[in-house]
Amino acid sequence: MDLATIRDLEDLETLKTLKSTIQSRAWIGLYYYVDNWRWSLSNTNLYKPGETVFSPWHSGEPNNYNNKQHCMVMGSDGRWGDRNCATAFMSVCFDVRGPDTFVLITNTMTWTEAQSYCREHHTDLATVTDMEENEMVQNLVLSGAFVWIGLFRDPWKWSDGIDSSFKNWNPLEPGEPEGSSETCVAADFSADGLWETLDCNVKSAFICYSGELSITQSLRVDLGL
């Protein structure tokens, strides 16, 4: 049993059925973890053990400047750094079907635009799993330039370890949790179950999952964060 993970719309609708039981808020299993890096290409069958942890960072990186750097670039020196995902850079796509494993896209795009382009025309943004692949991508990067690769940071993590990007935030959330005590997430049933960040020491009901969602009343929640 664990705090509830909401993976999709079906889970969300199940969560909403608890509205009559809960007057205001209840904890779910989502919490803030700034070092939660993962690859855009999420098919784990394509990775060998250890290949998802290769990361030749540039000195001082990643630094999450202004709490807004959640996407990864590679420079012409082959080193990596985090950047604002809304910045326009060239990108490198990964292609499992064509003659070239890695393809340089010289049109500048945001990280999300580059991801969509690579998925439409190739396979995905480049996944770099070892030094050999790193050198292959580096050889494509123009001198002094940076390119998007497929690594990104989703700073919100589920307590049971499930890898899901589904979110149901209140429009004003999640704010800027870095340096704040509001690093845990509750569903607000007075606002149709929308999610909000709260101080993890706030006393609230919480929702558990063990085959089905259920509500538990408690005076204290301690995630050990």
Q: What digits encode the pLDDT tens for the residues 134-181?
A: 999 999 999 999 999 998 887 777 887 776 778 888 988 887 666 667
Strand 89-94 versus strand 124-125 pairing type: antiparallel
**pLDDT band for position 206 (cuts 50, 70, 90):** confident
- What pLDDT was estimated at residue 114? 96
The pTM of the full predicted model, rounded to 2 decimals, is 0.64
Beta strands in the chain (DSSP E): 2-3, 25-32, 37-39, 69-75, 80-84, 89-94, 102-109, 124-125, 146-153, 156-158, 184-188, 194-198, 205-209, 213-216
Give me the sign of the Cα torsion angle 32, 35, 39, 45: negative
Q: How far apart are CA 73 and CA 89, in angstroms?
A: 8
Average pLDDT over residues 36-40: 74
Mean of the per-residue pLDDT values of the chain: 80
- What pLDDT was estimated at residue 126? 93
- Structural domains of the chain, ranges and CATH numbers in brackets: 2-34+157-216 (3.10.100.10), 37-44+51-153 (no CATH)
Q: Which one of 8-17, 61-70, 145-154 scores highest in mean pLDDT?
A: 145-154
3 state SS of 17: helix
